A = this chain, B = another copy of it.
Amino acid sequence: MIRTPYLLFLGDAPDNLAAKVAQGIQDWRPENVVGQFRMEGCKADVGAPDMSLQDAWDKGARTLVVGVANRGGVISEAWIAVLAEAMEIGFDIASGLHNLLRDEKVLKATSARTGATLHDVRIPTVAYPIANGKKRSGKRCLAVGTDCSVGKMYTGMAMDAEMQKRGLKSTFRPTGQTGILITGKGVPLDAVVADFMAGAVEWLTPENDADHWDHIEGQGSLWHVSYSGVTMALIHGGQPDALVLAHEPTRTHMRGLPDYALPALEDLRERALQMAQIANPACKVAGVSVNTKALSDADATALCAEIEGRMGLPTVDPYRHGAGRLVDALLEL
């Protein structure tokens, strides 16, 4: 559990894309953001007030979140100086970088001396159990994709936000680094040891009120041979009551696998549902979430209508059209 609210560290990000983790936090949890800290030469701006470390601390910020990718996989000296200074003031530091904060001598020593916590959210900190498969109260929704990186996290966050807006009981359950930094907790599933993957998902989505929905962040795809095991652990550990099919229509092959074609949405529906019904026979497919970022408004609307007609399922781009119809479909199940 990462202490909130945050000061977002954008470092010397060359553009907004490099700061997409910080942008995600600002977009989805603005109430957790006190401000952004930018170094000289920073070209990113996520729209939060610029603030010094001390000002942010005085305004209540308690964790400095590294919301930016590091160039060349190196945590630069300039970054380290800022991060160390933040710990001296009292901040914890959180990061989803591949290079771990704890592996940087200066940061580790400063953390030890000041008592500040270094959160490397790529590394699990919990001894997860082996999954027991027992039925849990409460409802769960999982997005499954035709491929990796097709909008599964976004779909879950948008559905959660829509339910919150309507005053319904709902929690987004992150399973990846960005989601964990956005919400302050979750399971870095791709870093969990194989035997405990499904158990980690059970741990993440415990018993709850009968009318409460968990929106579990999906990972990978049953068709993506590098990560399909992680997807399977989500389907069985999450024992979802509802699946949402996530798709990106311009992808020409599976991400990183040029010889692998994407499945048809019909095949994804059939096989993901078969697998999900092993853990939860009542599971149903609620709708389709299409990432239409690469399309015009007209093309996006036409594509969603075409898929909706073909599949007989409510089909939207939750970013473009809102997640209202997906939430309606959940509530009708």
Which residue numbers of A lie inside 8 Å of B, CB to CB?
130-135, 189-195, 197-199, 222-223, 225-233, 235-237, 239, 254, 256-257, 259-260, 271, 274-275, 278-279
Contact = CB atoms under 8 A, between A and B. Distances in A.
Contacts of A235: 228
Contacts of A135: 259
Contact of A260 (B133, B222, B225): B133
A195 B254 CA distance: 16
B225 A259 contact: no
B133 A259 contact: yes
Contacts of A256: 132
Contacts of A132: 226, 256-257
Contact of A198 (B198, B229, B236, B259): B229
A275 B230 contact: no
Most buried by B among A189, A197, A199, A232: A232
A275 B193 CA distance: 22
B133 A229 contact: no
- Oligomeric state, in number of copies? 2
Contacts of A271: 271, 274-275
Contacts of A260: 133, 278
Contact of A225 (B226, B230, B231, B237): B237
A241 B227 CA distance: 20
A228 B191 contact: no
B226 A229 contact: no
B237 A133 contact: no
A190 B195 contact: yes
Contacts of A222: 232, 275, 278
Contacts of A228: 198, 232-233, 235-236, 275, 278
A226 B131 CA distance: 5
B233 A229 contact: yes
A97 to B, nearest CB: 16
Contact of A229 (B223, B225, B229, B278): B229
Contacts of A278: 222-223, 225, 228, 260
Contacts of A193: 190-194
Most B C-beta atoms less than 10 A away, residue of A190, A227, A271: A227
Contacts of A257: 132-133
Given A130-B226, A225-B279, A232-B228, A190 B199 contact: no
Contacts of A198: 225-229
A274 B271 CA distance: 9
Given A191-B194, A223-B278, A134 B232 contact: no
A257 B236 CA distance: 13
Contacts of A223: 278
Contact of A195 (B130, B230, B239): B230
The 10 A-B pairs at the shortest CB distance, nearest first, are namely A229-B233, A225-B236, A229-B229, A190-B195, A131-B226, A232-B232, A229-B232, A133-B225, A133-B257, A197-B229
A235 B222 CA distance: 11
A193 B198 CA distance: 13
